[in-house]
A and B are shown apart, each in its own frame.
Chain A
Amino acid sequence: MSHKQVVAVLWIVLVILTLGGSLLGETTEPGYVLMLLITLTMAFKGRMVVDHFMELKNAHPLIRRLMQGYFYILPLATATTYLLSNAQL
């Protein structure tokens, strides 16, 4: 697959994930499963954009790790605070 084809496929995947996420958010009962799906999707989308749209897959490791790190830390923080806030209800 060429780079152009990879980004085209990824664009379609990201659009499907966005529409699917919205549909789930609208129709599914809120809970831990939904939260997990949302955070995993967030992490996946971010990593795909960083590696293939931003073209950091081969890039300087420091830059790539910093950008990828964002999409480990943020989903983890999202899940943690969701659990903490639910515990208070």
Chain B
Amino acid sequence: MTSAYCNQLPPAGHIPGNRGMWAGILCEMTEFAVLFTVYFTARVFFPQEFRSGPGNLNLLAGTLNTLWMISGSYFVVNAVIAIRQNRPVLSVRFLYLVLASAVAYMVTKYLEFEWNVAHGVTAGNGAFFTVYYYLTLTHMVHVFWGMIGLGWIIFRTHDDAYSPTEHEGMESFASYWHATDLVWLIIFPLLYLLR
């Protein structure tokens, strides 16, 4: 990337959002690091289950959820860029697109779990499925927290609370949302692709 591009990013050494949010994000990443360690340990001890497990999951649902998470991240960075350009109306529109992505994620998850039940994919089916439900349900909870935060950020943006020089709250939310996206980018290949 050119230096011209780097000049459009926040200044060197900048921490997006506030330090409190970063403490939360690092806690979230640590929590998932523990869950991934459980996945890796279980994979070594139950190799056959982990080899055949992904074939029993709904790959379409996993793929769609990855697209929703990536798109949500894309929309939220655009919301931040818009507020820096002093375009709050555009920023709110992008935030509503983030909300639409989150709702689509939740609906897809619900339909996936329904499909699982119909096809006998339950947590009691073995180590792989136990880990699958632990990881995906925990991630879902984090998305839900994010949606509550998103509601607040939409309200504040409607209220003209953010400006090009002061939008720490929105940056904090954006950082959290990206972290949740990052976690899914690991969950997806581990559970749905690695056969």
Contact = CB atoms under 8 A, between A and B. Distances in A.
Interface string A23-39: 01110001000110011
Given A60-B14, A77-B36, A89-B51, A41 B186 contact: no
Given A38-B194, A45-B185, A63-B22, A2 B48 contact: no
Point out which of A19, A26, A55 has the most chain B C-beta atoms below 10 A from its C-beta.
A55
Interface in B130-172: none
Interface in A1-47: 1-4, 6-8, 10-11, 14-15, 18-19, 21-22, 24-26, 30, 34-35, 38-39, 41-42, 45-46
B77 interface: yes
Nearest to A8: B74
Given A6-B5, A18-B67, A81 B182 contact: no
Contact of A66 (B14, B26, B62, B78): B26
Contact of A4 (B51, B76, B78): B78
Interface in B48-86: 48, 50-51, 54, 59, 62-63, 66-67, 70-71, 73-74, 76-78, 80-81
Main secondary structure of the interface of A (DSSP, over half): helix
A46 B32 CA distance: 15
Contact of B182 (A6, A25, A50, A58): A50
Contacts of A10: 74
Contacts of B48: 89
B194 to A, nearest CB: 6
Interface residues of B, number: 55
Main secondary structure of the interface of B (DSSP, over half): helix
B81 to A, nearest CB: 6
B178 A82 contact: no
Contact of B10 (A7, A26, A59, A71): A59
Interface residues of A, number: 55
A12 to B, nearest CB: 9
Given A4-B81, A38-B189, A50-B182, A25 B59 contact: yes
A30 B74 CA distance: 31
A35 B78 contact: no
Given A22-B63, A66-B26, A81-B40, A89 B47 contact: yes
A61 to B, nearest CB: 8
Contact of A3 (B15, B70, B81, B179): B81
Interface of B: 1-2, 5-6, 8-16, 22, 26, 29, 33, 36, 40, 43-44, 47-48, 50-51, 54, 59, 62-63, 66-67, 70-71, 73-74, 76-78, 80-81, 174-175, 178-179, 181-182, 185-186, 188-190, 192-195
27 contacts: A3-B9, A4-B81, A7-B77, A10-B74, A11-B71, A18-B66, A19-B63, A22-B59, A22-B63, A25-B192, A25-B193, A42-B185, A42-B189, A49-B73, A50-B182, A53-B73, A53-B74, A54-B175, A58-B12, A59-B14, A60-B14, A67-B182, A77-B40, A78-B194, A80-B40, A84-B44, A89-B47
